[in-house]
Structure formats: structure tokens, C-alpha cells
Amino acid sequence: MFLLLFCGFSVSAQKEVFFTNIPKDSAKVESLHGISIGSGINLLSTIQNLIANEKLYSIPLSVGYFNEKRIVPTITFVSSLGLNATFSQSRLYTKISEGSYFYSSSDPHYKNDFSLDLSAGGELRWYWGYKRRYGAGKAKLNSGWYLSLPIGVDTRLIDTYKSDFFSNYINYAGLGGSLSLGYRRAISRQWFLEGNVTLLGISTSLYSWNKKFNLSSPYISYPTGISLNAAYTFK
């Protein structure tokens, strides 16, 4: 819904036309680099928490540098490096006995947590319909719809979450990839807004449990993740 509202705004907003003398047949996406800041939600988890009347939440905030390079007229490769902070509220479990913990849904307790990750990623993007938008003067900063295949790796720098149950667990790094649908809208000559939804995702992590290293089983997710970013590009 958030992505649809964002796209609706882009359609109903006043049209900006950027004129060019380059023929439409030679139109190519731009190579860009800059700084971005963004956030997002897991729509399915949010709905589940509302239905169950749970006071759980997770608010991510990311900031980083990106470099988008044209590789063919309508396809780019985006590399990125950044920091991802997450403010969350999680369940507080009560220890009953050694190795036994209890959580009461009738009398729930929660605790606030904070985590900070260092992340790096790469992403292939296809801006379909770009030449048509270019001819209409609506392709500034690669504005329009795109399909992307992002992959990324992250490692945790700070984590305030503490639990006796997970005292022997350490998460070293996460690796994930997805298929995403997105829309970009230039709001000035150097600023753009961008929203996307994850159509399909897969992730795994490297961790240790009782000092033994393991690679978690791949986890597959479906259309639940929605994100919005604002970016400033350097010219």
C-alpha cells in the first residue's frame, strides 16, 4: 500500500520536463553516485502483530554510499556500502529453571533493543520503458519502473539484545538476495525518491552455537518487504 501511494503521488504530481538534444534512439540510463537514506517495513509481520495485539516492532534506518554504473542502455549495476541501524521491541522471556524459559501472552513483557550492521551489496537493475520515458522528458536520474536482483552481506557491529537462552549464540554475518520491483522519481536535478517491494527473497547466516560454526538453512520470503529511500546524487 505504501509503495502504491508513493507511485500514485508520482503520477498525480506536476510534471517536470527535462529537455535534451540527444536522439531518442541513443538514449541511455545515467551513471550516478551519491548518498542515500532509507527505511522500510515487513508488512506481513506488522499485520500479524496488530491482529495478535502484540507490541512488537522493528524500525530500520539505513544510510550509505551508492555507485550506479550503466552497463548497457537500460541496465545498470549498483554497488553500495552503508550502515543499518534497527530500533526494536522484543519479547522478554522469564527463566523458570536451567534451560527453561516462559513467555505469557496474557501478561506479556517487552524490552527495547538496538542493533547496528555494516553492509555491502551489489544489484543488477533493468529500467524497462526507459527510452519511451526519455523521449517524453521523464527519465531524469533514471526515473521510472525497474526490476532488480540485489544481493548483500552484512555483519553486526552492535547488538544490545541479551538473553540467557541465546548466551552461546553469536551471529557473524548474513547473506541475502532477492527479486524486487521498484519505482524511482526525480524531485530535482540531484534528488530522487525511490520505493520498492521484495517479490521473492532468500537469506542465510554464518553463526556459532556453543563455539561451533554453522551456516543456517536458506530462508525464503515472499512479497512482504517494502522500503523507501531518498538519495542525493553528485554531478
pLDDT in tens, 208-230: 877 788 888 888 887 778 999 99
Q: Which amino acid is at 37?
A: I
Are the beta carbons of 202 and 177 closer than 8 angstroms?
A: yes
pLDDT at 167: 63
| Ramachandran sector of residue 43 (left: φ over 0; alpha: ψ -120 to 50; beta: rest) | alpha
* Residue 130 neighbours by CB under 8 Å, 6+ apart: 27, 29, 73, 74, 139, 142, 144
Q: Look at residue 228 and give its three-state secondary structure.
A: strand
pLDDT tens figures, 9-67? 344 443 433 344 555 566 899 999 999 999 988 877 777 767 766 777 788 999 999 99
5: part of which helix (H) or strand (E)?
Answer: helix 2-12
**Tell me: the pLDDT tens digits for 189-203?**
999 999 999 999 999
pLDDT score recorded for residue 46: 73
Is the pLDDT at 104 greater than 60? The verdict is no
Taking residue 81's Cβ as centre, other Cβ atoms within 10 Å add up to: 12
Amino acid at residue number 186: A
CATH topology for the 2-88+117-233 domain: Porin (2.40.160)
Note if the pTM is more than 0.85: no
Count of CB atoms within 10 A of residue 140's CB? 22
Residues 6+ apart with CB under 8 A from 23: none
For residue range 166-191, list pLDDT tens digits in order: 667 777 899 999 999 999 999 999 99
90 falls in which pLDDT band (50, 70, 90)? confident
What does the pLDDT average to over 147-165? 86
DSSP H or E run through 154 = strand 144-159
DSSP, residue by residue, 89-126: EEE-PEEEETTEEE--SSS--EEEEEEEEEEEEEEEEE
pLDDT at 103: 57
Mean pLDDT lowest for which of 78-87, 105-114, 118-127, 130-139?
105-114
User: How many whole angstroms separate alpha carbon 36 and alpha carbon 182?
Assistant: 15
Domain ranges for the chain, please list them: 2-88+117-233
pLDDT at 114 exceeding the cut of 70: yes
Which DSSP category does 52 fall into? Answer: T
pLDDT value of residue 164: 58
Say which residue, 101 or 81, is predicted with more confidence: 81
Report, as an integer, the average pLDDT of 96-107.
Answer: 56
At 79, the pLDDT band (50, 70, 90 cuts) reads: very high
